[in-house]
């Protein structure tokens, strides 16, 4: 059974189709890359899955149950977590308190001590152990991204939606982030990652899905996608495709 299924999902804003009849099926354990030009609807898709918006038509299923129409807080409690493109911490709280919140409310840990332990565990995992007592507003961008990740992990997610986790990071920070994501995936969490950086998508994902003007125009393995003429046309550009062809032939 697929862990996440979108059937004919559309989302309209006024006259604009942000998502147009998207059909998508994600299997447990996959790392799916979601790519497409700016405005293609990638973040809208994440918003619709996490309940921020209701689909204008179509349905969304998580482990077989219908979840479209549920509120964001309900969806986060059943095992779907997401990070934001523009990070959304609780600025006046420490890193520890920030990560305890999802542990208490989404993961449902009633005991404060248990919540604290879980939070500390996730904070260590993302490498923020030193900053446990630091106020979120005083963290660097890279640290805030890791905080975002720790928060979503504290929810015990089965499905993790990452929205541009690498925006604003330098190459070294990106490599560390990739390591983390691989480790998370290896523990059984299904991941959908929105990314602009091709090297990340191609090296990390076992399947790529391409959106353009709200419609799903292609899906397949990295190799299939980079040679797909529709994708090349819409997004990658012919020069890149040629260079990639060259690399693959080496």
Partner 1 sequence: MRHLLILAILVIAMGLLPIFASNYTLRLGTMFAMYAVLAQSWNIIGGFAGYPSFSTAAFFGLGAYTGAILQTQGVPMPIAWISACLVVTIFAACLGIAILHLKGHYFAIASLVVAEVLLEITTSWTDLTGGGMGINLPILRISIEAQASLFYWSMLLLALLALGLNFWVSKSRIGFALRCIRQNEDASAMVGINTTFFKVVGFALSAVLVGGAGAMYASWVFYIEPPDVYSVLTSVKPIVMALLGGAGTVFGPIIGAAIFLTMEEFVWRSFLSIHAAVLGLIIVGLIFFLPHGILGLLSDIKKKSIRKRGSSPGVEE
Residues that bind partner 1 (CB under 8 A): 50, 71-73, 76-77, 82, 84, 88-93, 97, 101-102, 104-108, 129-134, 151, 155
Nearest-approach distance from CB 67 to partner 1, in angstroms: 14
Please, which residues have CB within 8 angstroms of residue 208's CB and are 6 or more apart in sequence? 32, 33, 34, 35, 201, 219, 220, 221, 222, 225
Closest CB to partner 1 among 81 and 208? Answer: 81
Nearest-approach distance from CB 82 to partner 1, in angstroms: 7
Nearest-approach distance from CB 108 to partner 1, in angstroms: 8
Closest CB to partner 1 among 78 and 198? Answer: 78
Q: 199: helix, coil or strand?
A: helix
Please, which residues have CB within 8 angstroms of residue 182's CB and are 6 or more apart in sequence? 204
Nearest-approach distance from CB 102 to partner 1, in angstroms: 4
Structure tokens belonging to residue 242:
């040629």
Closest CB to partner 1 among 130 and 243? Answer: 130
Closest CB to partner 1 among 129 and 171? Answer: 129
Closest CB to partner 1 among 81 and 210? Answer: 81
For residue 126, give the nearest of 137, 142, 105, 113 by alpha carbon: 142
Query: Assign residue 110 a region: left if phi > 0, alpha if psi is -120 to 50, beta otherwise?
Result: alpha
Nearest-approach distance from CB 12 to partner 1, in angstroms: 22
79, 159 Cβ separation under 8 angstroms = yes
């Amino acid at each position: 059974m697929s862990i996440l299924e979108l059937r004919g999902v559309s989302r309209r804003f006024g006259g604009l189709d942000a998502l147009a009849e998207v059909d998508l099926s994600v299997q447990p354990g996959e790392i799916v890359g979601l790519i497409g030009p700016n405005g293609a609807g990638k973040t809208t898709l994440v918003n619709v899955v996490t309940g921020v918006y209701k689909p204008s038509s179509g349905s969304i299923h998580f482990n077989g149950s219908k979840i479209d129409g549920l509120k964001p807080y309900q969806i986060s409690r059943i095992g779907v977590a997401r990070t934001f493109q523009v990070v959304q911490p609780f600025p006046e709280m420490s890193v520890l308190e920030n990560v305890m919140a999802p542990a208490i409310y989404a993961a449902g840990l009633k005991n404060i001590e248990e919540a604290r332990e879980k939070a500390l565990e996730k904070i260590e995992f993302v490498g923020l152990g030193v900053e446990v007592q630091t106020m979120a507003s005083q963290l660097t961008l890279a640290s805030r991204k890791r905080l975002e990740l720790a928060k979503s992990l504290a929810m015990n997610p089965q499905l993790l939606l990452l929205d541009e986790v690498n925006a604003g990071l330098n190459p070294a920070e990106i490599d560390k982030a990739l390591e983390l994501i691989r480790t998370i995936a290896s523990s059984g969490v299904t991941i959908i990652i929105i990314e602009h950086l091709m090297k990340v998508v191609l090296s990390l994902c076992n399947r790529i899905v391409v959106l353009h003007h709200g419609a799903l125009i292609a899906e397949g393995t990295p190799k299939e996608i980079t040679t797909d003429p529709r994708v090349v046309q819409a997004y990658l550009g012919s020069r890149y495709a040629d260079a990639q062809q060259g690399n693959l032939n080496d």
